[in-house]
Amino acid sequence: MDNSTLTLFKIKFKASIRKLEELLAIRDINNAMTLLEKMKKEANSLEIDSLDSFGTKLMTIQTNSFKKILASKEELEVLHGKFTDGCEAILNNKFQDETHKKESLAFVGVYQGMAYYKNDAKAYREALIAFCDWFKESIEKLEQLINEKNFLHFVDLAEQFNAKAQTIQAQEMLQFALTLNKIIVEDKNQCKIFLSSYQKSIEL
């Protein structure tokens, strides 16, 4: 491979790295993967093994991230069950039952919410039921976004979870929203670390 060919590749590679970083920053995973495949093909034509390794590592990051998100979806479903149980408890006036109060996790969100609504069981019940209905629809939407690898809208949905959870003072939901955001941020940071390391290596 002559020097001019390698120099041209380095110029194109640097431009592609910048574009790849932009796509990752806006969580456009589909176009990022398309660009990465193009970069790998160009690298393969010049027999540059390190870029193929980079692509494999980047794909691993994405796969692990999706696994975490899917696990979080299961957590969502568990929480939905807890809040539904909490609604039923309020409907059946079980929120005054000391045994249930002490033993059932379903009451964690219920009692925090009750305090926020100044012990107005009816108002809180209505807010909680409305939240649960939205919650169920959002779980289905979350799964759709995961299947589409749509990180941008996924983060928007995570922020909505956070905002709505705050309105009913549901601490478990707030924690879940923080977990979602942490997954996204960690994934983005890991990608940027790899981008930075390979950008430096190509400059050598």
Could you list the pLDDT tens digit for every one of the 204 residues in the chain?
Answer: 567 777 777 778 778 877 877 777 676 767 777 887 888 777 777 776 666 666 666 666 666 666 666 666 666 666 656 656 655 665 566 555 555 544 444 455 555 555 555 566 666 667 666 766 676 677 667 667 666 666 666 667 766 766 666 665 555 555 666 666 666 666 666 666 666 665 665 554
> What pLDDT does residue 102 have?
47
Contacts of 198 (CB under 8 A, 6+ apart): 17, 50, 51, 54
Tokens of 20: 């790849």
Contact between residue 184 and residue 154 where contact means Cβ atoms under 8 Å apart: yes
pTM of the predicted structure, to 2 decimals: 0.41
CA 66 from centroid of its chain's CA atoms: 8
DSSP states of 167-193: HTT-HHHHHHHHHHHHHHHHHHHHHHH
Please give the full DSSP string across 43-82, using - where no structure is assigned.
HHHTT-HHHHHHHHHHHHHHHHHHHHHHHHHHHHHHHHHH
